[in-house]
Amino acid sequence: MPLWLKVATAVVTVVVVGGLAFAGYWYFRLQSNISKAPLTAGDGNSNPVSDSNDRMQILILGSDTRDGKNSEYGAADLSSGYGQSDVMMLMDISADNKRVNVISFPRDLLVDIPQCKDQETKQVYPARSGVMINEAMAQAGIGCAVDTVNKLTGLEVDHFMMADFNAVKELSNTVGGVDVCISDAVYDPDSRLRLPKGTSAVQGEMALAFLRTRHAFADGGDLGRIKAQQGFLSSLTRKIKDEGTLSDPGKMLRIADTVTQNLTVDEGLASVPSLLTIGNRLKDIDISKVAFVAVPTTPAVQDPNRLEIAEPAGAQLFSALRKDVDLTDPTAPTTPSPSDTATPAPTATPTENVPPAPPYDKALQPVTVANGTGVPGRAQEIIQALVSGGFTQTARLEAQPVAQSVVYYGSEFADVAADVAALLGIPAAQILPAPAVGGVQVYLGTDFTSGATYGAAALPGDIVNQTAGDAVCQQANPELIVAG
């Protein structure tokens, strides 16, 4: 072998072996960093998705545990059991990787928490009603928070990621600070947030204070805090995109090392390849299609210091999410998955010499509207549409909430049911016989909470607080404004 070839072979061998050793070191380092926990507090996800090319929902949680590196933020007994979720956001990635929705849930939101089983101790905790959503994981673990969000939204969360206070500090340091903006100079003694008027780069303790403060923004409530958190994430997204971080292996390794040291994920996501797959899906998304949304709320009836879902806006949002509507452009067409495509009902072939059925009088056909949407007064809106269409013999009743709207019909009312469904735009696959029904019954579900045409996207005009492309300046709480 010529000398030059021996040298070249030796160099290539060293490079390959060194590269493999380097890759192996980082793989095992990152893998050993990851902590994991069960996805749910029940039977798990019934419909697992592909991490690379399916629509995916990831529940992002910020834990308020105060032990270890977090002990300086209060005594450990302030966070009972598994801790409470200081932050709760649902990240929804479209199947085509062109859109991301980030939906924030206020920690003061009162919800129903289902029965949950602690997968480690096997202890079962009973269902509770009217409980703050941030308490969902305190007893039975993170899986109970996942189950609660599933129950509330009608979606099925595929993965979760939970980080603690320390993660925010270290990540903000790793990226060199995150730009935030506030309308006036402010100081919050509780969180120790102190910022001048205008734009500042925050990192470390100040970044954590910006995200934790409950009083510095707007009227000092949870909604102002949510908008500030969304503004922070928007700015972080822009910085990572602008600096090409997602395409820079060195920067990505540093961020991955920081994040995985402070991250707990579900068992299905507890591998370096899975996390890299998620990151790869996000790198090319247009930041104008990363929509930040807060769940619509109103002061709770039982406690004005707490919040409850505002209707019909809440039901409209969850319905739009289930239909995979583009929240930044609700009029844009959606591409249904194969499982969502209804199979047309078989059409009967007319028999020769059988005369067609005589036309019926719409005004004489009994049509009942059952309101299973959870939206007060919804049945009356549909009745008005039916009356306008000629079906004047109507009645309404309240019913148990259901996810999907169905038109039921009694004996000899199949043709009437078909016409009622057509009038409302309800698919033929959702027309079902029900011998106990006298006439026709339109059973409204949470997928039909507004409008007179089924399937039409109906959302409040201001549902999107901002996109990742928007640089928003937060409004300071007048009570905490200081000179400077």
Annotate 371-388 with DSSP letters as a single string: E-SS-TTHHHHHHHHHHH
- 475 belongs to a structural domain: yes
Q: Same domain, yes or no, for 324 and 473?
A: yes
- 58 belongs to a structural domain: yes
Q: Same domain, yes or no, for 138 and 241?
A: yes
The CB density around residue 300, as the number of other CB atoms within 10 Å, is 17
Structural domain of residue 388, as residue ranges? 360-456
Amino acid in position 229: Q
Query: What's the number of CA atoms in the CB half-sphere (13 Å) around residue 103?
Result: 23
Q: Same domain, yes or no, for 74 and 187?
A: yes
Q: Same domain, yes or no, for 147 and 275?
A: yes
Closest CA to 472 of 188, 234, 221: 234
β-strands 431-433, 406-409 pairing:
parallel
- 223 belongs to a structural domain: yes
Q: Same domain, yes or no, for 372 and 472?
A: no
Q: Are 292 and 466 in contact (CB under 8 A)?
A: yes
- 47 belongs to a structural domain: yes
The string of pLDDT tens digits covering residues 308-349 is 999 878 888 988 898 898 998 877 766 544 334 333 433 334
Amino acid 315: pLDDT:
83
Q: Which residues contact 115 (CB under 8 A, 6 or more apart)?
A: 124, 125, 126, 127
Dihedral pair phi/psi, residue 307, rounded to 5°: -120, 155
User: Exposure of 343 by Cβ count < 10 A (0-12 exposed, 13-18 middle, 19+ buried)?
Assistant: exposed
Amino acid in position 284: D
The CATH number that applies at residue 439 is 3.30.70.2390
Q: Same domain, yes or no, for 65 and 133?
A: yes
Q: Same domain, yes or no, for 209 and 302?
A: yes
The CATH number that applies at residue 213 is 3.40.630.190
- 355 belongs to a structural domain: no
Q: Same domain, yes or no, for 86 and 221?
A: yes
Structure tokens at 189: 């003694």
- 286 belongs to a structural domain: yes
Report DSSP state, residue 246. Answer: G
Amino acid 345: pLDDT:
39
∠ CA 465-470-474, nearest 5°, is: 65
Q: Same domain, yes or no, for 386 and 473?
A: no
Amino acid 252: pLDDT:
73
Please give the helix or strand (H or E) that residue 276 lies within, else none. helix 272-282
Amino acid 241: pLDDT:
82
Amino acid 401: pLDDT:
87
For residues 59 and 294, give the distance between their C-alpha atoms in angstroms, rounded to a whole number.
14
Structure tokens at 277: 């797959």
Q: How many domains does the chain have?
A: 2
In this structure, what is the dihedral angle of CA atoms 9, 15, 18, 23, given to the nearest 10 degrees?
A: -130
Closest CA to 300 of 458, 86, 137, 129: 129
The string of pLDDT tens digits covering residues 218-261 is 988 888 999 999 999 999 989 888 877 767 777 777 777 777 88
The string of pLDDT tens digits covering residues 70-96 is 445 444 454 455 788 888 999 999 999
Q: Same domain, yes or no, for 309 and 441?
A: no
Q: Are 267 and 175 in contact (CB under 8 A)?
A: no
- 151 belongs to a structural domain: yes
Model confidence, pTM: 0.73
Amino acid 20: pLDDT:
46
Q: Same domain, yes or no, for 364 and 308?
A: no
Q: What is the DSSP string of 163-185?
A: E-HHHHHHHHHHTT-EEEEESS-
Cα separation values, 241 from 160, 245, 278, Å: 23, 6, 15
For residues 321 and 449, give the distance between their C-alpha atoms in angstroms, rounded to a whole number.
13
> Is there a cis peptide before residue 48, judged by omega within 30 degrees of 0?
no
For residues 317 and 6, give the distance between their C-alpha atoms in angstroms, rounded to a whole number.
66
- 4 belongs to a structural domain: no
For residues 84 and 86, give the distance between their C-alpha atoms in angstroms, rounded to a whole number.
6
Q: Same domain, yes or no, for 109 and 240?
A: yes
For residues 467 and 223, give the distance between their C-alpha atoms in angstroms, rounded to a whole number.
17
The CB density around residue 120, as the number of other CB atoms within 10 Å, is 11
Amino acid in position 95: A
In this structure, what is the dihedral angle of CA atoms 87, 90, 91, 96, given to the nearest 10 degrees?
A: 180
For residues 406 and 447, give the distance between their C-alpha atoms in angstroms, rounded to a whole number.
10
Please give the helix or strand (H or E) that residue 258 lies within, else none. helix 249-261
The segments of the chain whose pLDDT lies below 70 read 1-30, 43-46, 64-81, 246, 333-358, 457-458, 484
Rounded to a whole number, what is the largest CA-CA distance in the chain? 100
Closest CA to 409 of 372, 439, 378: 439
For residues 306 and 295, give the distance between their C-alpha atoms in angstroms, rounded to a whole number.
14
For residues 420 and 424, give the distance between their C-alpha atoms in angstroms, rounded to a whole number.
6
Amino acid 46: pLDDT:
65
Closest CA to 163 of 87, 229, 102: 87
Cα separation values, 468 from 165, 262, 315, 482, Å: 23, 24, 25, 29
